[in-house]
Every structure is written in C-alpha cells, then in structure tokens.
Structure 1
Amino acid sequence: MVQIVALQPVLFALIVGVLITCVAACILFRRRSANRKRSSEPLFLIRNGFVIDSSDIGTRLLQLGGVQGAKGWADVREVLANLIPDLPVTLPSETRTFASTRVDALALRIVPNRRGHRISLTGLDKDNGQRLLLELSQSKLAFLMRVTDAVSMPIWKTDQDGTVNWCNKHFQSLVERSGDEQPFDVPSGKNTIQSSRRYRLFSNASQADEWYEVHSRELDSGNIFFAQEISALMRAEDAQRNFVQTLAKTFAYLPTGIAIFDRKSQLVLFNPALLDLTELSAEFLSNRPTITTFFDQLRELRIMPEPKRYVDWRQNLERLISDAQKDRFRETWTLPGGLTYRITGRPHPDGAVAFLLEDISAEVSLTRKFRAELEMTQAVMDADADGLIVFDNAGRTVFSNLSYRQLWNLDPDGGLEALTVLDVVKALRKKCDPTPFWSDLRDFTASFDSRAEWDCELTGRRFGRLIATVTPLSAGATVVRFRQDARRVLIAGPNDNSLEQA
C-alpha cells in the first residue's frame, strides 16, 4: 500500500508528459498543415482562354499589373512575365510548373482539368508574398516610368516648396535646352492654380522662342505639372491676328459695306462703309446683332424695300439666309430716295456668312442713260430710208436698222447667236443677180490694211436696182448702206478698174 502511494507522483508526471507531447504534436501538425495549405495558393480558373474566377490574391495581382476589363491568359502572362519569364503563349495540355527567377521557392503551377485550367502559386509564404508584391510594384513603377518618358511632353513634380523632385526625360531635355533647372515660373504650395498658363521660353539650341501651355494638378505631397508645346499654335494665332488686322485695314478703305456673321448668326466684323450706306449706328453694330435683327433694323430705316406683308417678309428673310449660306443670294434694292443697292451673300467656312452691300446708283443711272441712248440711236437709224448693217472687226453683225430688215427680209438679231458676214453674204447673194460684190465685201471686212469707202450696183428681181456703199469705221468695223437710188456717181471698188456712171 505504501509502494502504491509512492508511485502515484511518478505516474502522474508520466501521464502529464505524454499529454504535453500529444498536444505539441497536434499543434505542430496543424501548423505544418496550414503551411502546406498556404504553400499552394490558388489564383485563377481559366476556361477557353478567359479568367472566369480568381482568388483575392489573383485579383490583386491583376490590379497591380494594371489589367482592366476582360481578362485572359495573355493578361496573366504579361503581369507575371518579369517574375516567371518562361510562361508559354498558350496554356499547356498537361500539368506544368514554372519556377520564378526573381523570388526563391516561388513557382506557378498550371493544372488542366475538365473545367479548364487551374493556376496556382506554390512556395508562397509570408516572406515570399511580400517579395512578390514588391516585385510587382516595381514592375508597375517601371512601366509607368516608360509611359511618362514616351509621352511627348514635359512632366514634373514639385514638393510644397516648389523644388522639382521628379521629372520625365522630356523635362530634362527642356532644362538642358533652356539652361535653367526650373524653366517655368510656376506657383508652388497649396491652392496652386488648376487651370492652364502659357509660357514663352528661349531655346539655346534652336535660338528661337518656344511656347508651352502648362497644366497643374495638386497632390498631397506637392504638385504635378504637364507642359504642352504650342509654338505652332501661337504662330498660327499670330498669323490669324495679323491677317484679321490686315483685313480690317483693307475693309476700312473699301466703298462696299461688309457684314460678316458667325455660325451663331451674330455679327463679328463690319467696316465703316456699312455705317455710311445703311445709316446704322456704331453702337448697334458693336452689340453684335443677329442676322434677323440686322435686317429688321434695315427695314425700319427703309434701307431695304418695304415688304407688303410682314409674315412674307420673315419667310423671305429665312430664305435669304439659307441662300446666302449656299452662295445663291443676290438682290438689287431700289430705294425711294433714288438709291440702288446690290446685296450679295457669300458663305464662309465653319458656317459663317458674309453680306456685301454696294451702292450701284451711279452704275444703274449710267446703264439707264446708255440704254436710252441706244434706244434713241436705234430709233434714228430705223427712221433712215436706207438699209444699214454694221459688222465688227471679227465679221460679226452688231447692228441693223428697220429698212435693212424690210428690204432683205432678214433679221440678224433673230437667232441666239449673231450672224457673221459669211451668213449674210450667203443669204443675200441668192436674192441678187450675179456680182463680185459679195466676195469683195467678205474680203473687205476681214482686211486690216488701209481701207477706203467704195460703191457697187446690185440688181435683183425683187428690189430692182440698189446702190451698196461700203464704209470703213474705227476699230476695224464696217457699215454697208443699201440705197434704192438711181442717180449718183459710183466710187470704184477694190477689184474695179474703172468708174461706172449710174
């Protein structure tokens, strides 16, 4: 009994030791099991070349790689290319493992199955995971650096004090060309302008000015700036400005009134002649009226014909604007005061339209006077009993009187085209007895040598006896007079050898 009691502490200690050993073995087994589970981390399930499912780690890997939208094996391969460069272009048909060249003990395992391909990382522990994320972050940073260097504009970042702490290669090149470490005098610190500013720099390399438009964005640690070269744009704007100034100076001396409206139908340019012709005030035109308001004001001032009905006038005005945009508008306005204006609409690029207003009162008056003189001359010539016809230096008929048309029953103005001396000779020769007169007349009108007046006698059954007198006029023209008179002395023609007595 005493021995049994003495053995109890020893037995108790042995039992406790066995229990501790079992607990420790269980804990170790669980840790190893957990390590084995973590050592093979599933990433993606790919079917028909596209990712149909991904774990949290797989999704984060793609996000670090900058993959957006639809994802496939090509995206996965591109993201892991720096870590595992031997990945195949197409997924293998059997289980393959590809070791990483950047992270020790890390490998990508591809297992094909009936659902597609299961892709997982093996050898992934806490240290390797941190190294993997670091490698991917550095890869993404290197990619972003390549992108910023590929952008054809200077980009740089400053801290709160305005010191440049990062830039791309184009900014470095700009610093070298300008000889200034901070070529742009941009503001620093918080509340930096978010809009844009234009800067002019002198380039030592090209010995010329370069213009840049700088845009800025505020960050937590400073500001980032983007500079876009606009030298060509500035030259174009200068050229346009000079051109507009030249046009304005030219328009100022033109007697024609000019009004140019933009595509919004607002007046953008006018010249002083428009004020003189329309009596519109400079204040009214400076307020940039619309086309409708412009013509309404002309109607109020009676600078354009008063419409009979206002509704018809508004419809006509809409047609006027449409025709001007199609280069089909031209009207003549006869005003009560005796003035006559001609207005023309011309289309311009980008939907603009220009109206030209000309005072043609003198031209119309001269035309009317000239027309009256022509009508008077025609009336006087028609009153002459002799038949008259005039040919120009090219042998075309330019004039004939009533007696000529009645005598020969031939109207030179009856056709669409003017008759020539050949047409007249061919028609009149049939109505006369044979005579060399017509051949001589044809040659005489075509001659540019010294010419003199001559006569010839014509006979015919219809008119009896005629005296044809051919007289040269200025500028190579010729007039032929046909007279039914029996007694006068004939002047020898170019082919006559003697004079004939009537």
Structure 2
Amino acid sequence: MDIDLNSALVLAGVSLISALVAVFLLPFIPRRAPSPGAESRNSMVFLFDGEHLVDATPDGRRFLAGGPKGLTDWQRFCALIVPRFPGFPERMERLPKDGSALLTEAGGEAQLTATWLDGVIRLTLQMPRFNEDAGLTDAQSLAALTAELATLRDVVEAMPTPAWQQDDKGGVAWANSAYLDIVRSRHDKGQIVWPLPVLFSQPKGEPGAPHRQAIDTGTGTGRERWFDCVAVEAHGASLHFALPADATVRAETALRNFVQTLTKTFAELPIGLAVFNRKRELVLFNPAMSELFNLEPEFLTGRPTLLNVLDRLRETRMMPEPKNYRSWREQILRLERDASDGVYSDTWTLPGGQVYRVTGRPHPDGAVAFLFEDISTEMSMTRRFRGEIETGQAVIDSLPEAIVVFSSAGVLTLSNSAYAELWGEDPRLVMGTTDIAGATAKWQAQCLLTQSEAAADLSHRIRQREAWSCELIRRDGRRLDCFLKPVAGGCMMVEFRAASQADTAGARPVPRASMG
C-alpha cells in the first residue's frame, strides 16, 4: 500500500513537471506547417519540357492563359514571371547545374521554386494565402479586380502602339502584341526569341521627354518606321511606349523640302525679299536684299527690326531723303501699317539715280514681307520711249497735212494737231476710243454728198490696207485730197491735203471720188 502511494506521488510529480515544462516551452515550439491541401489551394505547379508545357494545375493553366498571345508556353510563362521575379532568366540558365532554385517576388510575398528533373523543369508558384483577418479584399471585390485586370490586359494587347517594360539591366521583361509583331517581322522565320530583343534605344535627356528614332521593322521594303518613344517610371518599373510618327516625319520632310526649294528660288531672284515677324524683327531675307542696298550679311542675320533696317538705309542714302525727320518717321509708321493691311506700294528714287519699287504684303500671324525691285532700267526705257513718242508727236504736229493712223485692229491710235483742227477732234480724247467706222462717219457728216458709196468705199479700203486716194468736198466748200497709205505693223495712215496743195504737187492719184 505504501509502495503504491509512493508510486502515485512520483507519477504525479513527473506529470506536474512535464506540464510546467510544456507551458514554458510552448511559445518556443515552431508552428505546424500547413496541410498539403491548404498549400495546394495557394500554389500553382508547372511542368515544362523545353518550350512545351507538359502539365499544370488548373490554377496554373488559368494563370498561363493571361499571358501574351502568339508565344510558346515557356515564353508566355516568362512574360508573366520576369516582371515579378528579377533574375529569373539567369537562374533558369544555371538550373541544370544547380538542380534547384528559390526566388522571391520583388516587393511581394510570392515565392517561385524551380527543380531540374532530368530535362524537365518543375516550377511551383506559391501565392500569398487569403486572409480576411489581415484586411484583404473580400471575394466580390476580388472578382471585380480580376475582371478589371482582364480588361486592362485586353486593352494593352489591343494597343496598336508598341509598349514594353525593361528591367534594371535594360533587358525587355514584358511587351505587348504590337511589340511582339515587330520582333516577329524582324526574325527570318517569323518566330519569337526569348529574352526579347531591345528594339528601341534608351532615351536621352529629361525623363519622360519623348525622343524620335527609326527602326527597321523587317517588312522587306527597306523603309524605316519612325516612332516617338516615351519612358515613364511606375512603381519602380520602367515602362516604355512607342508612338508611330511616320506621318509627322513625312510632313516635316515635305515642309523641309518645300522650304529648301523656296530658299533656292529666293536666292536666285533679283528682287530683294525681307520678311519681318509680328515683332517686326527680320527673320528671312535673300541675297538680293544685301546686294541691292549694300547691307552686310552680319547685320541682316542679327535680326534687326524694321526701323533699324530703314535707319541703316537712310544712313547709307539707299532710300529717298525725307524733308524732315518727323515726317520721315510718320512715313515709316504709315509704311508699316499699310503693309500689314496689304495696300502699301511705292517707288523710291534714290540719290544715286536708282529707282526701286517697294511693295508690302501681309503674312499670317502678323508678319510683313517687303519686296524691293530695281526698276531703274525699266524706268530708263520708259522715259526714253516716252521721249521718243513725244518727239514723234511733235514732228507730226508740225506737218501741215492732217494725219490719222489706224491700228491693225481698226482703232485710231495716232493723229496730229492739223487733223484735230480740220475735223474738230481732240486727239487726246479720241485716241484709242474711235474706230474706222466712227471716224468715216464723222468725215461724211462734214462733207457734201456727191457719191452714195464713197463713205463705204473709203471705209472698206482702209480695212483692206490698200493704197488709194479720193477727193472730198467739205460743206464749207474746201476740197480735200485723201490718201490712204499702209504703214508698218499692219497700220493704215490717212492723210488729208488741201486740193490746191495736191495740184501744186502734180501727183493726184486716181480714181477720184467725192464724199457727202
């Protein structure tokens, strides 16, 4: 009985000591790992044989289906994994030698385990477990986020512009379908290689500033395609976008060629051209501007104002000298105002004898263009021709015979003072306005009617440019001898002489006719 009591006391002591030890050591015992069933609910397993997916869990197949289209199974998996697990390609290259690898998600809690199984790669993607106590999203919100993610993926894949993500080493970690299409077109067999090649160079300059570059898209046409590339930083990732710029480049090239053509044309023009912007600064000029006014190119390229240019012209006596400075300034202001309205035109006679025609034309955005044309030769010829005409007119005015000349079109173009005195017409009023019919009608009205067909015959003879003569009897009794003579240029001259002068000359052509 005592032995049993002692045994019971020892057993009770050992139990108490064990309980106390368990209480003190329980906090230091590690927690039990989750059951295989719980782990499988948060893990995705993949088996790859080269580029081909041998098998995968249902969640893994759904995960893989969200990758870019047109890629192999392995390339699609890489496109989804590389942005989240930096260094994945390098670890996979060493996997046959290392045998296994463990990677942790950058900025996350997911883990990726890789195992080499005699040429087959087993990948296990362990995702963070769903925990409502941690304040995670409920099932409905998670479904909404999943739907939004699917929409965003569809938008990115449907983008017609290339978009891609680069890692810290400058390699392409992810790209959309537009980028992959270019990669595929550049490959001889139209295949995608992984890792993806870098098609666009790194931008230089300020972050986020677009830069333009051209790449060969491999279409076989030999023509490059231009893109405006933009890089942005988002949550530590480097995102890049390439906007097509072919239309812009073509427009800029066409504009550049057009400007070059205009520049060459302006350079060969003998007319001086000066274009002033809305601030009245010289922004464009041609060599003739410098040659006409003896202006230094350095002065013109310094963007002088309109007043500075005119001041220089006044100093070098290359513009008309005004009577006083104030009136000259008012004239300059009027010149600028009239030119901007498109109505300014003037002729400058310089002290050296040159004559310039100045024309002001308005341009868009308030700019003004001035054209300076040297018309010295033209003015000299005009003066000479005017002098010759005046001399010729003075000569025929000194003749006693009445003379009138009709052009080949039958219009009165020349007459002398004797003709005006005889028929009572001012040559300055009838010149260019009277034809053969009007002139012969006036002659008939002042002559006696002796032959009914005389007027019609005279008019017909003038139009036929035939040498002919007739006699006219005026109502005041004076007799006139009328002579028709063809002259150069298809013109016809009609000469009226007093009958006594014709008799004295002894050369009275026949037939004779009277006109009433």
- Give the structure-1-normalised TM-score: 0.67
Contact 1:217 1:223 in 2 (8 A): yes
1:146, 1:243 → 2: CA distance? 43
Instruction: Give matches, 1:166-315, under 5 Å.
Output: 166-179=174-187, 181-186=197-202, 193-205=207-219, 207=221, 208-315=223-330
1:468, 1:133 → 2: CA distance? 117
Contact 2:182 2:218 in 1 (8 A): no
1:404, 1:463 → 2: CA distance? 18
Q: Aligned-pair distance for 1:415?
A: 5.6
Alignment correspondent of 2:440: 425
Q: Does 1:155 align with 2:163?
A: yes
2:321, 2:180 → 1: CA distance? 70
Q: Aligned-pair distance for 1:187?
A: 5.2
Q: Aligned-pair distance for 1:288?
A: 1.6
Instruction: Give matches, 1:403-422, under 5 Å.
Output: 403-414=418-429, 418-422=433-437
Contact 1:263 1:351 in 2 (8 A): yes
Q: Aligned-pair distance for 1:136?
A: 2.4
Q: Aligned-pair distance for 1:473?
A: 1.0
Q: Does 1:489 align with 2:507?
A: yes
Q: What letter corresponds to residue 327 of structure 1 in structure 2?
A: G
Q: Aligned-pair distance for 1:263?
A: 4.1
Contact 1:154 1:170 in 2 (8 A): yes
Contact 2:412 2:430 in 1 (8 A): no
- Alpha-carbon RMSD: 2.8
Deviation by residue 1:342-391 (Cα, 9 ceiling, x = unmatched): 11123344443322211111111111111111111111111111111100
Residue number among 437, 442, 450 corresponding to 2:459 in the alignment: 442
Alignment correspondent of 1:26: none
1:192, 1:222 → 2: CA distance? 17
Residue number among 441, 465, 471 corresponding to 1:457 in the alignment: 471
2:395, 2:388 → 1: CA distance? 10
Alignment correspondent of 2:489: 475
Alignment correspondent of 2:78: none
2:384, 2:158 → 1: CA distance? 76
Q: What letter corresponds to residue 477 of structure 1 in structure 2?
A: C
Contact 2:203 2:231 in 1 (8 A): no
Instruction: Identify if the C-alpha distance between structure 1 residues 146 and 264 changes in structure 2 by more than 3 Å, giving closer, same or farther.
Output: farther
Q: Say which SS state the counterpart of residue 429 (structure 2) adopts.
A: coil
Residue number among 389, 402, 424 corresponding to 2:417 in the alignment: 402
Q: Aligned-pair distance for 1:284?
A: 0.4
2:241, 2:430 → 1: CA distance? 75
Instruction: Identify if the C-alpha distance between structure 1 residues 295 and 137 changes in structure 2 by more than 3 Å, giving closer, same or farther.
Output: farther
2:177, 2:277 → 1: CA distance? 43
Alignment correspondent of 1:139: 147
1:253, 1:182 → 2: CA distance? 48
Q: Say which SS state the counterpart of residue 289 (structure 1) adopts.
A: coil
Q: Say which SS state the counterpart of residue 499 (structure 2) adopts.
A: coil
2:431, 2:142 → 1: CA distance? 93
Q: What letter corresponds to residue 274 of structure 1 in structure 2?
A: M
Q: What letter corresponds to residue 196 of structure 1 in structure 2?
A: P
Q: Say which SS state the counterpart of residue 413 (structure 1) adopts.
A: helix
Contact 1:211 1:230 in 2 (8 A): yes
Unaligned runs of 5+ in 2: 1-131, 188-195
1:249, 1:175 → 2: CA distance? 43
Kindly tell me the number of residue pairs found equivalent between the two proteins.
367
1:311, 1:226 → 2: CA distance? 62
1:360, 1:248 → 2: CA distance? 23
1:281, 1:192 → 2: CA distance? 40
Instruction: Give matches, 1:288-437, under 5 Å.
Output: 288-414=303-429, 418-434=433-449, 435=451, 436-437=453-454
Alignment correspondent of 1:98: none
Deviation by residue 1:66-114 (Cα, 9 ceiling, x = unmatched): xxxxxxxxxxxxxxxxxxxxxxxxxxxxxxxxxxxxxxxxxxxxxxxxx
Alignment correspondent of 1:8: none
Q: Aligned-pair distance for 1:286?
A: 1.0
Deviation by residue 1:151-197 (Cα, 9 ceiling, x = unmatched): 54322222222222333333333333344832111259xx9733222
Q: Aligned-pair distance for 1:414?
A: 1.6
2:305, 2:206 → 1: CA distance? 40
Contact 1:393 1:445 in 2 (8 A): no
Q: Aligned-pair distance for 1:262?
A: 3.4
1:148, 1:309 → 2: CA distance? 74
Taking only the aligned residue pairs, the percentage that are identical comes to 38
Q: What letter corresponds to residue 248 of structure 2 in structure 1?
A: L
Contact 1:490 1:499 in 2 (8 A): no
2:387, 2:354 → 1: CA distance? 19
Contact 1:491 1:499 in 2 (8 A): no
Contact 1:215 1:226 in 2 (8 A): yes
Q: Say which SS state the counterpart of residue 184 (structure 2) adopts.
A: helix
Q: Aligned-pair distance for 1:429?
A: 0.8
Q: Aligned-pair distance for 1:455?
A: 1.2
Q: Say which SS state the counterpart of residue 306 (structure 1) adopts.
A: coil
Instruction: Identify if the C-alpha distance between structure 1 residues 134 and 285 changes in structure 2 by more than 3 Å, giving closer, same or farther.
Output: same
- Give the structure-2-normalised TM-score: 0.65
Moved more, 375-384 or 430-439: 430-439
1:143, 1:233 → 2: CA distance? 31
Q: Aligned-pair distance for 1:420?
A: 0.7
